[in-house]
Amino acid sequence: MNPRPTAAIILAAGLGKRMRSDLPKVLHPICGAPMLDHVLGAVEAAGVGRIYAITGHKGELVRAHVGSRAICIDQPERLGTGHAVMQAEAALADFEGNVIVTCGDTPLLKTETFLSLLDRARQSGAAGIVLTTLLDDPKGYGRVVREGGRGVRKIVEEKDCTAAERQLREVNTGTYCFDRRALFQALSRVGNNNAQGEYYLTSVVEIMLEAGDKFEAVITDDWTEMIGVNSRRDLAEAARHLRARILNRVMESGVSIIDPATTFIDAGVEVGLDTVIEPFTILRGRTVVGEGCHLGPQCELIDATIGAGARVRQSVVEGAGVAAGETVGPFERR
């Protein structure tokens, strides 16, 4: 059976007031790339055919950055997540298939997670799938209310929760997979009678169920995937978890990192087999390190190319190369 066509809507219109920045929130860098790039990369790797980004604050900067990777659609007024998704209705009028909806400020989402949502949608035939996780302290997040502990009955924003609903540990991550037709039919009936006066995307759950459609959940056991960035503190927290993921991937590929706590590697860096990385080493940008190298302590490589067997210590290499077997440092710059 051939999989259904897939599209994605990435919500990237947020102002990000708490960032206190002139830069659009989704363009703030994390581990070597803007947050939005991490989300785009995960969606692209999941094989999504059509990608739309909903833009708002300084949308021209987002459009210029995204280029041909996504079609940008402006949201003139920010009236909630449901309203944001509605901006893509005309663009998807000729599309029949599944639509991923996710946020441009959640850079830890994995390709495997998007694939699991698509697999559940195809296997179950549900009109909607929500990605959820379990938190010991769910404060601040929308709660997932289940029917008798089984199927999803509704998703309630925290400001609208009852006292009992606030005790629930399963929370909404803000990432979904919908049948396109069912999504926009439900959105046409969403109102804004809530504490925020906004059009919530979560309102489609009850509307779909009333229409006789199925709505299910996929639970991720990695709660860090749902980390959304709304402040500089959030950005640092997300970067900490993403760095740990990158370092683990590099070590699993056959690289020795003496002290992960003092080693910083960007997402786009490549490191060869049997390389050893000493403390206080920073690998940035599109750096490529060959096999059997020894880096550090205290070196910084930025868009550098390091040949196999090279040694770099207490030095900076930026936009330059180091030949195979060459030794650089201490205290050099090239």
Phi-psi region of 138 (alpha: psi -120 to 50; beta: other; left: phi over 0): alpha
- Specify the 3-state DSSP secondary structure of 50: strand
**What 8-state DSSP symbol labels residue 203?**
G
Angle at 78 between CA 188 and CA 228, to 5 degrees: 100
The reply to whether 18 belongs to the active site is yes
**Residue 299 · residue 311 · CB < 8 Å:** no
Q: In what order do the strands lie in the sheet with 321-322?
A: 270-271, 288-289, 305-306, 321-322
Biggest CA–CA distance in the chain, Å, is: 70
Tokens of 223: 């709660």
CA distance 294 to 310: 6
| Nearest one of 229, 274, 239, 241 to 256, comparing CA atoms | 274
Q: Which H or E run contains 236? A: helix 232-252
CA distance 306 to 326: 9
Q: Which is the catalytic residue, given 18, 189, 240, 333?
A: 18
CA distance 326 to 315: 13
Q: Which H or E run contains 187? A: helix 180-187
Q: In what order do the strands lie in the sheet with 263-265?
A: 263-265, 281-284, 299-302, 316-318
Residues with catalytic function:
18
